[in-house]
Structure 1
Amino acid sequence: PPGHHAGPRGIVTCANDPDGSHGFCLLNNVAIGAAYARSMYRNEGIRRVAIIDFDVHHGNGTEEIVRQLVPNVERAAIRTPFASGMIQTPTYRPWLDENDIHDVFFASTHGYGPRDLRFADHLNPAQGGWFYPASGKTRTTDAILSPSNIEHPNLTDFLHSQTWTRMGEDNRSNCCKIINIGLDLPRPHDVPGMQRVELRDSYRKNILPHLLDFDPDMIFISAGFDAHKKDTMNFGYVGMVEDDYEWVTEQLVKVANSCCNGRIISVLEGGYKIHGGIISPFARSVASHVRALVDGGSSRELYDKQDGEWESQFERHMVEDKERRRQMKMERLRPPHTDTEARRYHHARQAHHLPPSVETRGQRARSDSHAEMDDLMNESLDIQQHQYPHHNAHVGTKENQSDEEDEPSRKRRRNHVDYKELYEQMKKEGFSG
């Protein structure tokens, strides 16, 4: 089973979920593997380990285990018929030594917010329930952003006094190298597909550059496939597709090639859309992930920071261009209601103003902007022949010449038929009803 929700003592709680749960997890496999590699293979050069989690749910168990690399104080309330009080217990759970907090890196991208978008803007978004596990708000610790300003714990004092009260929770948390990217639910007015670009940008701008600077000796992936847009367990959060899983994996492999001779390990987490067997969203996502691991290891391609900004702008242009074309298709279905609109359609046909077609990786878009505008105008002129016959009697129609590669082909549009004249012609030719 998956494991990234299992903490040091199993259940992990947070302010938005004070009870917590195991989240289908028994043992935190990826944390156990990272700790084992750092402890047992340090003589082979494995000292700095990184864990990257792209499951749709926050890896709260893994994060809590990483936070326990700093001395901590656990508190528990007790109550008896005669008294009540609070027990405080100093704890410290290192993987190897006092350098753990410098040599362990954790990053997670996930959904964060209410399960129901109707409660997103309310003062109490939890009214409709939090998206599990209700933790993981976007934050990058100071140990990554400004390590020189961090006050690190004095472990010698802690071991001698067995107390740890001076630093406080925030200071202790900042000692660990942790990045959380909590992604929001898409809003109705958002451009469709833009949340996928936001996910990729979170890696380009926040995770991958810091991971490269961390310079790990081994990278572990908490590979959860429940962020797929067809997986109902994500309540609409993230909305990845197979290409996104392949892209994220490719980038992580490039960092591994740049930093640690390609040493990368993938551990399965979530993924529940299994209906369809080998063609299910889960199976296709896993196949994309594994293919990127194999191909990336064979190519030995290195990560280049400069490619990220260009890719981000290019992908945003593609998404916005696709949305513009979709809006134009919707607009053409609306018949013109005035002579002014009819004339505007006619002038637009002559102008041929459409955004240029975009080439996607590995395939060329076959759309022709002029043919697209002709197709747009033909339908509007057909409609005008019914509503404005005195304006359009001289205007003919033209068959559609091209179509978008990623959309179903259109049926050939029929010309206006005079059924009375057709009936008279059929009688002359000897047809009888």
Structure 2
Amino acid sequence: MTKTALITHADCLNHVTPDGHPERVARLEHLLHALEPLDLNRVTAPMAADDDILRIHPAAYLADLRRALPATGERAIDADTWMSPGSLDAAFRGAGAAVRAVDMVLGGEAPNAFAAVRPPGHHAEKETAMGFCFFGNAALAARHALDHHGLNRVAVVDFDVHHGNGTQDLLWNEPRTLLISSQQIPLFPGTGNANETGAFDNILNIPLPPGSGGREMREAYKSLAFPRLRAFEPELIVISAGFDAHRDDPLANLNWEVEDFAWITAELCRLADELCQGRVVSTLEGGYDLNALSASARAHVQELMKAAT
């Protein structure tokens, strides 16, 4: 019970993208190598059931993905999003890791958990795969906690540099959730402005200007995000943990350092201690410079470990 759970599966290495694609197998390989020395409760991610996916995506969408899966080679779903023969198994493991993480944390098997999986999830909309993503893992974690475990309020905090348009789409009409998302604006996917607030005022978007760094992020979270979290009083905090706001990331223009990812993780864990018995579930999103991703994710997990003791 006292160890942070690390949930992953080798199937997540079998989602293959074309040479030069930023969302590549090496991302997870490097990240897992960085976490090897840490004393974690290492858990094999199960395959999500169709019923898990159907909490957030319609059956027709799942059928379309299965039809699109290539038997060999790679197939483009859009300009950014590709499938290989192992892609759906990887996506089902990612979703299964999110479900297992919630089950472990809410069941008392772990104080908090990190799902080290790929492909990422926060760009997958209800009926659209995009932005490297197929299933909305963070939204699924929230809905699983609400519908299966009977929680009344779940917060999702997304600090990936790109706006989690998929998570926003999936939770827009869900009054039992609060989504807080910070992102560089302007940047792909072109959403995430402050006036996007959800059907029940349940979404807080925090645009961050290109070139800004950790100081601006910390001020925004202290003045905007943390007061909203306290007012919402969540029973679980789900983190969409993207590490592409790092200054070295090739796909964006924010200037966070490793210490900034450690800070935001520590602060969210402190709030979880205050509000929801320390219960935190984190799932990997972006991060495309291998060294920055590995160092930042390790700092993130180390703060989860500190909070677990």
TM-score by length of 2: 0.60
Distance (whole Å) between structure 1 residues aligned to residue 239 and residue 225 of structure 2: 13
Distance (whole Å) between structure 2 residues aligned to residue 199 and residue 174 of structure 1: 26
Structure 2 residue 46 is the aligned partner of structure 1 residue 35: no
1:137 shift after superposition: 1.4
**Match runs of 1:171-320 below 5 Å:** 173-186=198-211, 195-234=213-252, 236=253, 238-274=254-290, 280-298=291-309
Paired position in structure 1 for 2:58 = none
Larger RCO: 1 or 2 (CA < 8 Å, sep 6+): 2
User: C-alpha offsets along residues 343-384 of structure 1, whole Å, 9 cap, x if unaligned?
Assistant: xxxxxxxxxxxxxxxxxxxxxxxxxxxxxxxxxxxxxxxxxx
**Match runs of 1:90-239 below 5 Å:** 100-101=174-175, 103-113=176-186, 131-139=187-195, 141=197, 173-186=198-211, 195-234=213-252, 236=253, 238-239=254-255
Paired position in structure 1 for 2:12 = none
Distance (whole Å) between structure 2 residues aligned to residue 296 and residue 229 of structure 1: 26
> Post-superposition, which runs of at least 4 consecutive aligned residues in structure 1 deviate over 2 A?
138-141
Change (3 A) 1:23 1:195: same
Identity %: 36
The answer to which structure has the higher helix fraction is: 1
Q: Secondary structure at the match of 1:217?
A: coil
Q: Secondary structure at the match of 2:223?
A: helix
AA of the residue aligned to 1:8: K
Residues 50 and 218 in structure 1, CA contact (< 8 A), matched pair in contact too: yes
Residues 3 and 28 in structure 1, CA contact (< 8 A), matched pair in contact too: yes
User: C-alpha offsets along residues 108-142 of structure 1, whole Å, 9 cap, x if unaligned?
Assistant: 011112xxxxxxxxxxxxxxxxx21011113474x
Paired position in structure 1 for 2:95 = none
AA of the residue aligned to 1:4: H
**Match runs of 1:326-341 below 5 Å:** none
Unaligned runs of 5+ in 1: 12-21, 70-99, 114-130, 142-172, 187-193, 275-279, 299-433
Paired position in structure 1 for 2:72 = none
Q: Secondary structure at the match of 1:179?
A: strand
1:196 shift after superposition: 1.8
TM-score by length of 1: 0.43
* Structure showing greater Rg: 1
Distance (whole Å) between structure 1 residues aligned to residue 199 and residue 171 of structure 2: 11
Distance (whole Å) between structure 2 residues aligned to residue 40 and residue 34 of structure 1: 10
Q: Secondary structure at the match of 1:232?
A: coil
Distance (whole Å) between structure 1 residues aligned to residue 292 and residue 181 of structure 2: 22
User: C-alpha offsets along residues 165-198 of structure 1, whole Å, 9 cap, x if unaligned?
Assistant: xxxxxxxx45241100111123xxxxxxx63211
Distance (whole Å) between structure 1 residues aligned to residue 223 and residue 246 of structure 2: 22
Unaligned runs of 5+ in 2: 1-118
Distance (whole Å) between structure 2 residues aligned to residue 132 and residue 265 of structure 1: 25
Distance (whole Å) between structure 1 residues aligned to residue 185 and residue 137 of structure 2: 23
